[in-house]
Structure 1
């Protein structure tokens, strides 16, 4: 098999005047890639520019752009290493054109979305054409081959470059790169997909160039009915010869096409195709917001860990720890009166919170907090706050209505997420949310009354429920939860519901109907309608009217406790005030928090003074930072001591130790290695922090002395049992003693700390902690003493386990 450097060349994928593209295998990372090798004979300036442009593209991160992994010279040949996309290009579709208008527009919206990201980074493609648009197995477009890309600010890049059939007039004149050049090419491709005919094609490329420079290109004939005047106007504007009259940006053309996809408001029920288009339109608008990708990834990661039984506590803790704000909020929440007393003291680690409150409970709290953390917006903060608290109230009520049933935890999220679409609309589309509320409000008591489902469908093109389910699918929420999110319609069943899944849906609807009633009814007028609602849902709730009223009172108290812990301030005149306890209600400090606490913890909950929030782990003043770090280390030691008395779970104790070190010192990562008796090697087992999944298996410290030379630094430290801080790993006397496995990413660091675990004067484990930059770890005598105590607690946990 032919090779190029470490790459195994399998077969040729394509060949052009400038380069050859190979399907290759990268054995180092065990993945297939597309290897683009520049043809021989290019001058050094051309090679340098080619590689520089490749590196610029490698910094682009967008699902619609084929990623560049590397740009380098290998065995004397300039090479770009691309992500491999299994699928064809746009060319076969062009040959099948005309495509259905919506399909063609959707494809080009995806291309424009990718260009928005590239243009925002200052990169212009300059050679967009069907062969440079790949289609993945799902049919989604991926832009590739930025081979002649250039930066908008690079005036030296002015030259006549591009493919004549798709080149813009200004590019044909050799003007400096500009995003409108790419817009022109997209408009040409869209016109060809819609018509099935080439717009500017000739066997002589010079005639193509002459035509684009001197003539206004016109749209070919398109299928009547499929392509309306508005779509023709959008495409024609993208093809205008004068760049100033063209769409000013890829984003502007994309948004115009998205609006066309959404279509005019109609009174009839939208088709499945139009609902899908509306959902995609809304999803794209949300993705355009800076926080939505992060929002989605946070929930998807937490949910993914939830579905994995292997080391679920460790995985969940590590996912939460990646978000400092979420970690601190969650620890503040679990240190309220109810949880702290259940734990016997302050809870300072996520691992301890999971052990005390339960896996499902912490998962629910984390997902709720992610929703809250992302939904902060000054422009419509009050409405968002009301919507969020209304959803939490529904979750509280669902938990109460379950009366301690096993599925109570799932019902919390089910009732909360039945409102997901409404909540997302309030955050991302406040004007549309206001329109929906106005339609519902104006129709109350009249013949023109409309439901929220009808109103949201009119305004958005899909209902709130469909929006919520579409996003939930992207997040990877499990099917049982998404099934509960489908709110049942019609009259409440007159008979008891036998199916558990169906009963859960109706129970969550009852919780949401009750939350709506509490929010929209003045307290002095609530008694009669609440009684009617309880009677209507009696077969579902299996509770008498008085029990439903008591559940509302308890849910109010718990919501107030939750709002206080989350630092949600409810103004006196806010509608959300109706969800809180009334003036004559009992103080809420004695109640148990609704989200995530198990029955045993609820029984233990009593009234204590609310604790202070866990101390911030970072401070500008070094002395203050060290004091805070020492404080957190000391709190962790006490908590770990309590856990060792209560539990024989050595794994849980070790996770608490790593997390305490990680958070107190603000480290990049902390890894625990344990001794493999068969190979006499310390092997990474688990850890917390950045890139931990790749770093843990990389940490391997052989304890046998080498046949020749001295043991490496790690082995020496472990065999001697000496606590060691390496402030600068790049120093020659240190670097030459580092093992080869340590020199590879992601484990390689600028400075690191080694705390060997010794038993009977022999190493049984190692705590490794690092920071990316040299000199980034500073330890006072107090901090070092506390770290040694934590290390000794780890050894003690081993001894307890062995005994």
Structure 2
């Protein structure tokens, strides 16, 4: 179809009981408005047929309503009503606030292949439901896919849908150029394979970032799909392997009989690619599997050279009889290694040792020590071999992740003489993963796919199932786990037994007591450092700080490292890593996830407990009596820390969101002796935070009174609660009677909820507020918080945000 460009219509008056609010979009035959339904007090999407429609157009309009009304599925936008008002036809749909897929693709960034496949699984789920009801969409394209708040794909606009029972009726050329199937372009009868073809075109565009059949002349695009096979362009992401290409190309087959027969068949093939079947390996075959992999690596020209270099340097640095001269001579044999090593030792982190520029390997070894030189040399040997690989960018990311783990372990190590051993233990704890990326990139990619969370059966997208462990996935793909491969190679290289023990990742929950045994403590330190590196690499920067805080609480007791020092250690490790990367000449693409390893780890706006501009200053009053329920700061910190640990442990397992939230509120309530603690959650219908539950004095009657608007009325100043939550700034009000505070308190607060001092902790995701934790005391100045208590409260609030994200 060749749509014309209609002029923008004026906002219509109310249609039936629906009042249009603003225009959402406009097509050739209709305009879509955001409207309010006063009867059910909700927002809806109102699709209004343009004026002057013929009876045929109105009939086609009602045809869409009849087609969609039979479809009930999470991946289809449902129709609520269809009616006529004053000769004006309109449909009422569920309002989905998210963008269309075409808008998402224009705004960027590009979707990762896994994310593109997961999104398409939802589209195919919706199509299968429509086909099962006898309805073919016939106009599937990115602009007809909405993305809701959870990122779920929702198929919409069945305006030219056809019933499978219409197969015997005459058909015209129906669809959008660029997405229309060959048989639809020939005017053949509707079939599910038409939608399968369009879905394959969309997936190809998601994977490649470009149109597969674009032409300024739409009729040329229609002829091309009849006469030529569509193909995926070259230069795709490395994750798009041959198996995924084959799945997409089958969906693009011009001959419908060679295409996926149903949307479900297409869906199942993609789901199998995303989550390959996993079967446990037998220990009997571990030795044979290791020998097989070692033979494969030995056939690579660089592996024997790397092994020889590692072995020689390792023997020299461990020998009591070798001198600095021997070590220097060994390093000087490799010109490239010598230059890179000297660049490294002249970075800022080693400047204190040199007292000036270090220009010889001998002096570097004397100043930094055997262990330090060994670690730098081993790191550089791995990097040097890696740079010759065709998939160097992916390898740089994994290498930097390992280097970050080593740097973190060194910063968190309590015993100075164990610093360098801790660095190497953490860096080599994932040696098997690193080697697999080096020498078996296809197998490494398959392991990454297996370890992704599985989708739930039956189209349920309420949340991911538990992921397959990396150990099990690597054992299935390689015949032995990453750890077993790393240990096998470490033994071949002659790495010391103590290091090999530290490379074994400890299993189970983090111990709650300090690990007195140095070897066990080093194993746990290496695990913590690697988990922290994974979090930094795989987490959006806005969420990283909160997750690291939670990890600090989990590991601090076992390692004997105060939780508060993890931040400083992570920042110091980042600075050292940035210097090392620059000295090693490691360059990263701008969109590389490894850029996160080099970025500052600082709290975001919604991850801070900083004073608000409305913070009231309370003058000291010697006669003021403290609340009887208030406890000492030391006791408060201990209670907060213990609660955080319990909550962290609960969130590792399958948890219920309400139980975690109640644990968080109880921890806040008990630790600081608050009078009341209330949890408020966004009501999407009214865009208001409403009190749901809480703890403390009369909270059952008080909590329902909380109503915090998240949208400001034009011309009306927001009250204090609304302003705080909209800005996302944690706020402590020491004295609510101060005039500039009192004048901004909302009317609902001045009744039963009224308190003299209170704390507001807004909760937001991507800057959008969705919840709030409130706590108060009866007397002015009753809330006495130090920096440590503020930090722990911030961690609790962030745990609540994380609980919502995991539950969704």
Compute the TM-score of the two structures, normalised by the length of structure 2.
0.39
Compute the TM-score of the two structures, normalised by the length of structure 1.
0.39
